[in-house]
Amino acid sequence: MRYTLGGAVVFCALLWAGAASAHHALQAQFDTAKPLTLKGTLSRIEWINPHAYFWFDVKDDSGAVKQWGAETVGPAALRQAGFLRGPASFRIGETYTFEGFSAKDGGERIFTTAISFPDGRKVTIFFGDAAGNR
């Protein structure tokens, strides 16, 4: 089989386009005009690209517990902010406060801009402007 430079360029462009379309704009899923602060017990962490996810349980006023998903920046940006995988940075079962933008669809999701730790530390992990731009 014979390959040409043009064919290789087209193939690479198609791969890049597929990866680029998989990433979404912040404003597509989250309402940057609706800030939200939630406190809950951390139940799971997914260090995946392009964004890491924290899952935490929040008790409402009636005592019912709902699991919320907190989308964050990617794993590389979390490492740059000083976070490590595992219990060195986050402990399952501990209570954290997540600040960010609520989901446009009203679901139990938040795009995280800052996390407050049980010891009182607060770490900002998103430095976008009010429109959600980076």
In the chain, where the domains are located: 25-124
Q: What's the whole-number average pLDDT of the chain?
A: 80
Give CA–CA dist 111/73, Å, rounded. Answer: 9
User: Residues 84-92: what's their mean pLDDT?
Assistant: 86
Query: Which pLDDT score is estimated for 81?
Result: 84
Please state, for a pLDDT cut of 70, what percent of the chain lies above it. Answer: 75
Give CA–CA dist 55/70, Å, rounded. Answer: 6
Contact 52, 70 (CB under 8 A): no
Question: Any idea which architecture 25-124 has in CATH?
Answer: Beta Barrel (2.40)
Confidence of residue 17 (pLDDT cuts 50, 70, 90): very low
Structure-token pair, residue 54? 């924290």
Give CA–CA dist 40/121, Å, rounded. Answer: 16
Instruction: Supply the pTM of this predicted model.
Output: 0.74
Confidence of residue 67 (pLDDT cuts 50, 70, 90): very high
Query: Which pLDDT score is estimated for 5?
Result: 45
Structure-token pair, residue 5? 């430079």
Name the one residue in this structure whose structure tokens are 């005009």.
33
User: Residues 16-37: what's their mean pLDDT?
Assistant: 68
Query: Which pLDDT score is estimated for 129?
Result: 59
Element (H, E) at 78: helix 75-80
Confidence of residue 28 (pLDDT cuts 50, 70, 90): confident
